[in-house]
Chain A
Amino acid sequence: MIENFDLTMVNWARAQFALTAMYHWIFVPLTLGLTWIIAFYHTIYVKTGNEEWKYLTKFWMKLFGINFAIGVATGIILEFEFGTNWSNYSWMVGDIFGAPLAIEGIIAFFLEATFFAVMFFGWNRVSKRFHLFSTWMVAVGSNMSAVWILVANAWMQHPVGQAFNPDTARFEMQNFFEVAFSPVAVSKFTHTTSSSMLLASLFIISVSSWFLLKNRHIQMARRSIIVASIFGLLSSAFCGFTGDEAAFEVAKHQPMKLAAIEGLYDGETNAGLVAMGMMNPAKQVGDDLDAFTFEIRLPALLSLLANRELGTFVPGINDLVYGNEQENIMGVTQKIEKGKIAVGQLAAYKNAKNDGAEDAAIAALTLFNEHKEYLGYGFLDTPEKAVPPVSTSFYSFHIMVALGTLFPLVFLAFLFFTWKDTLMEKRWLLGPGVFMFFLGLVAQEAGWVVAEVGRQPWAIQGLLPVTVARSNLTVGTVQTTFFMFLALFTILLIAEIKIMTKQISIGPEGN
């Protein structure tokens, strides 16, 4: 179908996407979460008229603004990168994938862009109520944009509501509501927004801890910590709940990803969940080596997580690659055979149509339709290619979960000692508290690595591998833009950190 597969170019394009997405994601979750907390502070100010809350609101708003600007800067490239580096993807699924991006623009981005200016500059220009309304609209707008981009991402993980059109040789939308309300999209959105709220709470904990360590703005820091700890605890709980939901969806729709993030090579009934482990670097798909050099397992819990039922079977990587007749699992080997038939018959169909050979066209189409659900597998050359990088997936997932378990304990501790009024003495807590935001970022990025590396080699799960999704570019071109973005984003990040820390050290007005 596409000549001269150039794996190196694909990998550079993937690296570029990873680079730009990961930079973008340093800023976005903070925007998504902080905006609600600012709206909350702003509401208290409008309700009480207490100027202290106004200073507090303005302080966090200023940090929000710095972060927002660089989030926008790193975001625009992502939208267009689908076209520049993944043009075949854009063509093959643009009929479905373009819609949420356009809707995001119409419904969400304009809300953000319009009310952002009011939120920042409306203090003496519009009525207090309209100003507060605007702050809430920024929160709604930014989280609405998360809805649509996550709908788009969820569709890549679990492509519903579409069908392949052999005449145009692309996937076309059949049902918008299936795409928009796909359970994967719902779990992605809820998990992402709750984790963003969690991250924003950690940010406030970090900055406030620093103030307390410096003996500055004690009253403001305490107020901030109380709100942030409560928000943080609630969002941690919700994040855990939605994370469980997300894992359940992965088990249903992306069993290979689930096997990879758990390092499960051979499927098991009553499979255990790895609480902690070191993967064996020599382990390959299909060999007899142990997957772990050391591990601690919680018995039977993986079956519960994946199937919500004890005693059930969870397929491992080997079952999925080579098949498991007993459990009625078709292996990738067999899927590739069917996929190759689909690819061949699609070409035959197109040729027959061009030659005007109606009967041959119908015959080819019939055969194609019988095998089309495996079309994507027709582009893989070996079954092992269907396996994502296992240890990257495994470690990212476990780092994310471990940090997600730590954070609520941190919030509890902060809340407890603030309530006891002894927080100022607990320097052993305030010191590490300053670094909590960075740990939060690690968990955020790890989460995306799980989601995106864990579904390799697929751009669209099961339908379109990344090797076919790419643009027709030379390696050198993509390398050049990779380093351009790396340099630019790194410079901007350093500038952002310097500005942000300076603004924090200047502190809020009024004191």
Chain B
Amino acid sequence: MIGNLDYSTLQHLWWLLCSVVGSLFLFLTFVQGGQSLLWQVAKTDLEKSLVLNSLGRKWELTFTTLVLFGGALFASFPKFYATSFGGAYWVWILILFTFIIQAVSYEFRKKPNNLLGAKTYELFLFINGTVGILLIGAAVGTFYTGSNFQLSSYNFVTWTNPLRGLEAAFSLFNLSLGLFLVLNARTLGSMYLVNNIEFATVPELETRLRKATMTNFICSLPFLLYVLVSLLLMQGFGFNDQGTVSMVSRKYLANLMANPWLIGLLLAGLVLVIMAVLKTAQTDGTSGIWFGGLGTVLVGLTVLLLPAFNNTPFYPSKFDLQSSLTIYNASSSPYTLKVMTYVALFIPFVLAYIVYVWRAMDSRKINIDDVSDRGAY
């Protein structure tokens, strides 16, 4: 069956798969959200340990999903990989930096003789949870607002802004998307912790977390609304049957109209997030993270699919429109996409064992015994 898929279907399929991985990553940024909440919700050493041991059993999933997002884009849209990473150099380097310092922090923070002291590793986690996610949001924002690059006839990238990608963070739209992701990660983080920790000995922690769910959600709303309204009204990039790129007014609104199921995804996602927040903040329920997580995945899918389908270049260049990348001109060959589609058949199995392990490990909540163990973070 896969062998018969035509090139265009494969290109759409792979953008969809990359978007699914990207959206799952956004859900899993509850780890980063939790990290940035640490100093706000955890006042004692015990509370801190509970929060970090709870997050510490999941951080690698988030990290690995980010790595896979990169790997999947490399395999399926190598021209994007080359253009964006080699061009928007500084924004990606800084994002990577925040993930490098995250990766050691859980393991090193509590260990004696750790050179930098626990506070520094907590700061590393905070930076990863704020700056890291903000910059990822800004980078994703350029799918809508465009970047400053030109490709030669051999696809060699020239970036025309000396900030090399960091300029993305200075656009109100990109910045809003970034801040929304940071605050949404915090909303998710507090819901995850509410679900994962046993609060018998630390009731104040639970109160603070439930409150943080609501405050972070409310703080995220203005940015979300700004992003959504801009999306509907803004001028976008589009291309015609000859592949010529031009500016099109209300392009993303048109894309929504052309794919009404995207409106469905977006609305369902938003409703789920709101439900999750209300459930966590107003009741003593602990399942908010599941609704909020699914909701984030659906919103994430909309955000990543909207600028790529319906004759829209997903990585537009505002400097030179014709250098813009589309799923057609940036993809791998049909052969490679087919091979990768066979490989993608593993994904359901991977998801299945992750869910199985998650359930097996988390059937009992993180408690004081877990953090006093010698192996604890």
Given the contacts A98-B74, A102-B75, A495-B115, A174 and B335 also touching, CB distance less than 8 Å: yes
Give the distance in Å from the alpha carbon of A95 to the alpha carbon of B81 in the complex: 11
Are A499 and B375 closer than 8 Å at their CB atoms?
A: no
Given the contacts A62-B375, A83-B74, A122 and B156 also touching, CB distance less than 8 Å: no
Are A1 and B154 closer than 8 Å at their CB atoms?
A: yes
Give the distance in Å from the alpha carbon of A411 to the alpha carbon of B346 in the complex: 41
Q: Is A130 an interface residue (CB 8 A)?
A: yes
Q: How large is the interface on A (under 10, 10 to 19, 20 to 34, 35 or more residues)?
A: 35 or more
Give the distance in Å from the alpha carbon of A112 to the alpha carbon of B85 in the complex: 26
**A contact patch SS:** helix
Residues of B within 8 A of A289 (CB): none
Give the distance in Å from the alpha carbon of A473 to the alpha carbon of B70 in the complex: 21
Are B71 and A102 closer than 8 Å at their CB atoms?
A: yes
Give the distance in Å from the alpha carbon of A94 to the alpha carbon of B81 in the complex: 9
Are A98 and B76 closer than 8 Å at their CB atoms?
A: yes
Q: Is B171 an interface residue (CB 8 A)?
A: no
Give the distance in Å from the alpha carbon of A69 to the alpha carbon of B99 in the complex: 12
Give the distance in Å from the alpha carbon of A468 to the alpha carbon of B149 in the complex: 19
Are B100 and A109 closer than 8 Å at their CB atoms?
A: no
Give the distance in Å from the alpha carbon of A492 to the alpha carbon of B100 in the complex: 10
Rounded to whole Å, the gap between the CB of A28 and the closest CB of chain B is 14
Are A472 and B156 closer than 8 Å at their CB atoms?
A: yes
**B contact patch SS:** helix
* Set B75, B79, B107: member contacting A65, Cβ < 8 A: B107
* Set B68, B93, B103: member contacting A70, Cβ < 8 A: B103
Residues of A within 8 A of B361 (CB): 117-118, 121-122, 125-126
**Closest chain B residue to A71 by CB distance?**
B103
Q: Is B89 an interface residue (CB 8 A)?
A: yes
Are B339 and A99 closer than 8 Å at their CB atoms?
A: yes
Are B84 and A83 closer than 8 Å at their CB atoms?
A: yes
Are B79 and A91 closer than 8 Å at their CB atoms?
A: yes
Q: Is B63 an interface residue (CB 8 A)?
A: yes
Residues of A within 8 A of B101 (CB): 73, 488
Q: Is A103 an interface residue (CB 8 A)?
A: yes
CB neighbors of A among B268-327 (8 A): none
Residues of A within 8 A of B335 (CB): 172-174, 176
Q: How large is the interface on B (under 10, 10 to 19, 20 to 34, 35 or more residues)?
A: 35 or more
Are B85 and A87 closer than 8 Å at their CB atoms?
A: yes
Q: Is B43 an interface residue (CB 8 A)?
A: no
Sample (22) of A-B pairs whose CB atoms are under 8 Å apart: A65-B375, A73-B100, A73-B101, A84-B85, A84-B92, A87-B86, A88-B86, A90-B82, A91-B155, A95-B332, A98-B71, A98-B332, A106-B68, A106-B343, A106-B350, A117-B58, A118-B361, A472-B157, A481-B93, A484-B93, A499-B113, A506-B112
Give the distance in Å from the alpha carbon of A33 to the alpha carbon of B256 in the complex: 52
* Set A73, A85, A102, A350: member contacting B103, Cβ < 8 A: A73
Give the distance in Å from the alpha carbon of A494 to the alpha carbon of B99 in the complex: 19
Chain A window 27-70, contacts with chain B (Cβ cutoff 8 Å), 1 for yes, 0 for no: 00000000000000000000000000000001001100110111
Q: Is B340 an interface residue (CB 8 A)?
A: yes
Give the distance in Å from the alpha carbon of A61 to the alpha carbon of B354 in the complex: 22
Give the distance in Å from the alpha carbon of A61 to the alpha carbon of B375 in the complex: 9
Q: Is A2 an interface residue (CB 8 A)?
A: yes
State the 10 A-B residue pairs at the shortest beta-carbon distance, nearest first. Answer: A94-B78, A87-B86, A83-B85, A98-B75, A105-B68, A73-B103, A98-B74, A69-B107, A91-B82, A471-B86
Residues of A within 8 A of B89 (CB): 84, 471, 473, 477
Given the contacts A73-B104, A98-B332, A118-B357, A106 and B344 also touching, CB distance less than 8 Å: yes
Give the distance in Å from the alpha carbon of A25 to the alpha carbon of B274 in the complex: 46
Are B374 and A109 closer than 8 Å at their CB atoms?
A: no
Residues of A within 8 A of B85 (CB): 80, 82-84, 87, 90
Contact surface of B with A, Cβ cutoff 8 Å: 57-58, 60-61, 63-64, 66-68, 70-72, 74-76, 78-79, 81-87, 89, 92-93, 96-97, 99-104, 106-108, 111-116, 152-159, 164, 332-333, 335-336, 339-340, 343-344, 346-347, 350, 353-354, 357, 360-361, 363-364, 370, 374-375
Give the distance in Å from the alpha carbon of A499 to the alpha carbon of B115 in the complex: 8
Residues of A within 8 A of B107 (CB): 65-66, 68-70
Give the distance in Å from the alpha carbon of A116 to the alpha carbon of B104 in the complex: 15
Are B111 and A98 closer than 8 Å at their CB atoms?
A: no
Q: Is A79 an interface residue (CB 8 A)?
A: yes
Given the contacts A117-B60, A350-B153, A87 and B100 also touching, CB distance less than 8 Å: no
Give the distance in Å from the alpha carbon of A83 to the alpha carbon of B282 in the complex: 46
Given the contacts A66-B107, A121-B370, A491-B116, A95 and B333 also touching, CB distance less than 8 Å: yes
Give the distance in Å from the alpha carbon of A345 to the alpha carbon of B196 in the complex: 63
Residues of B within 8 A of A473 (CB): 86, 89
Q: Is A114 an interface residue (CB 8 A)?
A: yes
Give the distance in Å from the alpha carbon of A509 to the alpha carbon of B375 in the complex: 11
Are B103 and A80 closer than 8 Å at their CB atoms?
A: no
Residues of B within 8 A of A379 (CB): none
Rounded to whole Å, the gap between the CB of B123 and the closest CB of chain A is 14
Q: Is A502 an interface residue (CB 8 A)?
A: yes
Are A84 and B61 closer than 8 Å at their CB atoms?
A: no
Give the distance in Å from the alpha carbon of A171 to the alpha carbon of B164 in the complex: 27
Q: Is A413 an interface residue (CB 8 A)?
A: no
Give the distance in Å from the alpha carbon of A472 to the alpha carbon of B159 in the complex: 8
Q: Is A15 an interface residue (CB 8 A)?
A: no
Give the distance in Å from the alpha carbon of A240 to the alpha carbon of B63 in the complex: 36
Residues of B within 8 A of A491 (CB): 115-116
* Set B64, B113, B353: member contacting A502, Cβ < 8 A: B113
Given the contacts A94-B332, A130-B360, A109 and B64 also touching, CB distance less than 8 Å: yes
Q: Is A219 an interface residue (CB 8 A)?
A: no
Are B100 and A472 closer than 8 Å at their CB atoms?
A: no
CB neighbors of B among A241-278 (8 A): none
**Closest chain A residue to B159 by CB distance?**
A472
Rounded to whole Å, the gap between the CB of A255 and the closest CB of chain B is 30
**Closest chain A residue to B107 by CB distance?**
A69
Rounded to whole Å, the gap between the CB of A59 and the closest CB of chain B is 10
Q: Is A498 an interface residue (CB 8 A)?
A: yes
Give the distance in Å from the alpha carbon of A34 to the alpha carbon of B91 in the complex: 36
Are B103 and A91 closer than 8 Å at their CB atoms?
A: no
Residues of A within 8 A of B375 (CB): 58, 61-62, 65, 120-121
Chain A window 484-511, contacts with chain B (Cβ cutoff 8 Å), 1 for yes, 0 for no: 1000100110111011011100100100
Q: Is A196 an interface residue (CB 8 A)?
A: no
Chain A window 150-168, contacts with chain B (Cβ cutoff 8 Å), 1 for yes, 0 for no: 0000000000000001001
Residues of B within 8 A of A110 (CB): 61, 64, 68, 350, 353-354
Q: Is A357 an interface residue (CB 8 A)?
A: no
Q: Is A401 an interface residue (CB 8 A)?
A: no
